Amino acid sequence: MSEPFPPDGKEVYYARSLGQAEVWAVPTLGGAPRRVISAWFAIPSPDGAFIYYVKPDSAGIFRAEKSGLNEELVYNREGTGLYFIPLLLFPGGNDLLAGGFLPGTEHKIRFYRINVASHEAGDLGEVSGNQGDIVWAEPGNTVLFSRAVNGLSNIWKYSLQDRSLTQITFGTGPDHYPMPDPGGKGIYFVNGKSSVFLTAYHVQSKESTDIALDNATQPAVSPDGRRVMYITSPAPERSELWVSGIDGANKLKIATGESLGTGSWAADNLHLSFFGEAAGKGTKTYIVGADVSGLRQLPGTPEIVGSSVWSADQKSVYVTGWEKAASTPTIWKWSVDGSNLEKFVDNCGYVWDADRGGHYLLDVVLSGEKIGISEVSISDRKCIPLLPGVVTFAATFARDGKSFLYAVASRGEVTIYRQSWNDGKTIGAPQVALKVPFAFPLYYNGNGYDFSRDLSTIVYVRPGGHADLYLLSQK
């Protein structure tokens, strides 16, 4: 989701995708960045006096002065079942236009007008569209945004008064990020197509192989390092789960859905877990063979699923998920023999791996005060910090089981560290295991990378594509 410019246009806001949830600003003409607020999304008021924002660990919309001080709650979403983000300020600055959505329905926007003083919300109707590029057409009355219809993304206008939709741009698209010209010349918008290659880098030979070319993300390498599963997005609101050899050969499509995510491989290098979101129905978790055999759905999956990991004996799957309207994740356990899901550990992070002895899970907290790598003791169901403060996306036990590996991105490079570990305790300080000779994103619509447990192969996403700026003249 894009961050807006402050009203004076002197800075550009941006959010950090990993680490402490913070919005920063950098001068438009260059200079040192500054921290604006602890939040994962923020918008300024038209006069620049206030900032409206949401935090990952709280169920509400907040307002603070532009200095970041004197925080106050504007709207509390508890009990609604919806997740809210601030979108725009109505003329006068007394009302906020917010977007609400249910888990798994991020492209279904329900508009609300929230009064800043009374903290009450009025329903303004629901549409399908992209929350990340909503702007005023006629301030207070209509908004512009991109939405996909029959696989084509164009710019549309929505009336908050009569709740009508009007198509503004036509053609194959995709059209995004409408920007009304301040002088009334028309509407600027971006037309272009992104592409995301999935590439395997072989450390010893220093050679690279493209595995997939169709907007592929969320790679998960099998324990033996021979295969990888990943997600492709061939069309809006459609994704596919694939498995291929680590060299890109022998591709096999496993599943198709509205929004899919990779889970993990079982120790037998055959079975895998994945999850899928369906509009209005939350997230469902599945297990299946890499040969498309034995597809099963886990009963009672939490409302939102963030990760899933097989136990060492393959009798259970551990799932990180959120209950309805919850602000912190819970780890759940599901027995493969058909038992129902049970709550396992509250308020930890994302589970990423299980040790071979079946005693511990590796867990990563991505933001907040508890950020870092932790472990979950399976016997006493406790979350135990291992490397507090480490900013990474995932952690994996090495092939020997005597250490775990994690990647850190810094100043245009990626370093993979090894932390010695035995029976739930770290040994010594982390050591550099591999300095990658190029950069890649740790996060890109989910995890942007994975590597084999012996560090012989790194699989990562390579974003690309093209975009052009157009002006639709006002008639």
Residues in the chain: 475
pLDDT for 324 equals 64
> Could you give the CA distance from residue 290 to residue 252 in angstroms, rounded to a whole number?
8
Instruction: Quote the mean pLDDT of the chain.
Output: 87
Total count of domains within the chain: 1
> Could you give the CA distance from residue 306 to residue 218 in angstroms, rounded to a whole number?
12
> Could you give the CA distance from residue 149 to residue 461 in angstroms, rounded to a whole number?
28
Among 199-208, 340-349, 369-378, which is the least confidently predicted range? 340-349
pLDDT-derived band at 140, boundaries 50, 70, 90: very high
Residue 206, amino acid? K
Percent of the chain with pLDDT over 90: 52
Decide if 135 is inside a domain: no
Task: Give the mean model confidence (pLDDT) for residues 43-70.
Answer: 82
Decide if 228 is inside a domain: yes
Cβ contacts of 364-372, under 8 Å, gap ≥ 24: 364/392, 364/393, 364/394, 364/395, 364/406, 366/18, 366/19, 366/393, 367/18, 367/19, 367/20, 367/21, 367/40, 367/56, 367/57, 368/20, 368/21, 368/56, 368/57, 371/19, 371/20
Q: In this model, does residue 20 exceed pLDDT 70?
A: no
Which letter, b or e, does each residue of 326-351 get, where b requires 16 or more Cβ atoms within 10 Å of its Cβ?
bebbbbbbbebeeeebeebbeebbbb
CATH number (domain holding residue 352): 2.120.10.30
In the beta sheet, which residues pair with residue 426?
Answer: 421
Main-chain phi, psi angles of 131, to 5 degrees: -65, -20
How far is residue 231 CA from its own chain's centroid? 14
Whole domain around residue 203: which residue ranges? Answer: 194-465
pLDDT for 281 equals 63
Decide if 230 is inside a domain: yes
> Could you give the CA distance from residue 302 to residue 319 in angstroms, rounded to a whole number?
9
Q: Using DSSP bridges, classify how beta strands 175-180 and 165-167 pair: parallel, antiparallel or unpaired.
A: unpaired
Task: Determine the longest span between alpha carbons in the chain, in angstroms.
Answer: 71
SS3 call for 132: helix
Q: In this model, does residue 160 exceed pLDDT 90?
A: yes
Q: Which residue has the higher pLDDT, 346 or 422?
A: 422
Q: In this model, does residue 16 exceed pLDDT 80?
A: no
Decide if 427 is inside a domain: yes
Decide if 302 is inside a domain: yes
Decide if 391 is inside a domain: yes
Summarised one tens digit per residue, pLDDT across range 315-348 is 999 999 877 655 678 899 998 886 677 889 988 8
User: Who contacts 118 (Cβ-Cβ below 8 Å, separation ≥6)?
Assistant: none
Decide if 474 is inside a domain: no
Token pair listed for 377: 């003791």
Question: Which run of H or of E encompasses 257?
Answer: strand 252-257
Are 5 and 13 in contact, with CB atoms under 8 Å apart?
A: yes
| Helix, strand, coil shares, percent, the chain, to 5 | 0, 60, 40
Task: Give the mean model confidence (pLDDT) for residues 393-405.
Answer: 95
Q: In this model, does residue 2 exceed pLDDT 70?
A: no
> Could you give the CA distance from residue 319 to residue 341 in angstroms, rounded to a whole number?
9
User: Who contacts 101 (Cβ-Cβ below 8 Å, separation ≥6)?
Assistant: 82, 83, 108, 109, 110, 131
Decide if 145 is inside a domain: no
> Could you give the CA distance from residue 405 to residue 353 in angstroms, rounded to a whole number?
11
The radius of gyration of the chain from alpha carbons, rounded to an integer in Å, stands at 23
DSSP states of 311-360 as a string? Answer: -TTSSEEEEEEE-TT-SS-EEEEEETTSPPPEEEEES--EEEEE-TTSSE
pLDDT-derived band at 303, boundaries 50, 70, 90: confident
Q: In this model, does residue 430 exceed pLDDT 80?
A: yes
